[in-house]
Amino acid sequence: MPNYRGIIDIISCEHYLCVYVCDPVVECIHRLDSQGKAVTQWPVNDTPIALSVNRANNLLVTCDVVRKIKEFSAHGDLLREITLPDDVIKPWHAIQLTSGQFLVCHGAKNDPVHRVSMISTDGREIVHSHGGQPGSDTDQCNVPWHLAVDQNECVYVADTNNRRVKLLSPTLGYIRAVVTRDLLKGHPVRLCLDTQAGRLYVTDNEVKDDKYTVGRVVVFSV
């Protein structure tokens, strides 16, 4: 892939048979076709931090600094921008549900609120939430960084600094920890759920002096 400066997230689209790559250094999206032969890119005009694909097969780009979700067509046309509520600080990842509502995980190390929030279709209201003040109890999160949703719209959360992956109900009630810290060497940062195979892929990153040093992908049956 030419002309890339950094990679922070990657996602595939089964409909268009392509892969999108999030480049925060030059603030752009790279698109590769399924054979890796055709590469295009387009500007986000803000720093992108995470990606997802919605039911319309459009690309959702989470922009943490400006607290926005930007929706692009598969060819890079900006379709709309959704500004998140004021108390959604440092959004890490957003997924659109079949209802049109959005799931957003948010909260960085020194932020007062660490939550997973279900947000209305226009981005103005929080409908449900899980978390609050950062902590390690079952109803708390500590840097919830990435999300995955199954066919029943139950939610998997990479609760990064608690070193676990939590499973929440469709209304964001706590169900259980599906991955605990004793199964990881470091911190879970990215999730990928294969619903057909019943497999959850978790990136497990070791941290030293606030820098990621070693990483691996761990696969769990769910």
Q: What separation in angstroms does the CA of 67 have from each of 18, 44, 123, 190?
A: 27, 13, 11, 20
Residue 213 located in a structural domain: no
At 41, the amino acid letter reads Q
Residue 81 located in a structural domain: yes
Residue 78 located in a structural domain: yes
| Local confidence pLDDT in tens for the 222 residues of the chain | 677 778 899 999 999 999 999 999 999 999 998 776 678 999 999 999 999 999 999 999 999 999 999 999 999 999 999 999 999 999 999 999 999 999 999 999 999 999 999 999 999 999 999 999 999 999 999 999 999 999 999 999 999 999 999 999 999 999 999 999 999 999 999 999 999 999 999 999 988 877 778 899 999 999
Tokens 């930007």 appear where? 70
What total of structural domains would you count in the chain? 1
The separation between the first and the last C-alpha atoms of the chain, rounded to the nearest angstrom, is 33
Residue 84 located in a structural domain: yes
CA distance 87 to 80: 21
Residue 95 located in a structural domain: yes
Q: What separation in angstroms does the CA of 35 have from each of 18, 102, 177?
A: 8, 31, 37
Q: Look up the CATH number of the domain holding residue 77.
A: 2.120.10.30
pLDDT given for residue 36 in this prediction: 64
Residue 1 located in a structural domain: no
* Range of the structural domain that residue 163 is part of: 9-185
pLDDT given for residue 128 in this prediction: 97
pLDDT given for residue 75 in this prediction: 93
pTM: 0.94
Radius of gyration of the chain (CA): 16
Tell me 111's DSSP state.
Answer: -
pLDDT given for residue 1 in this prediction: 67
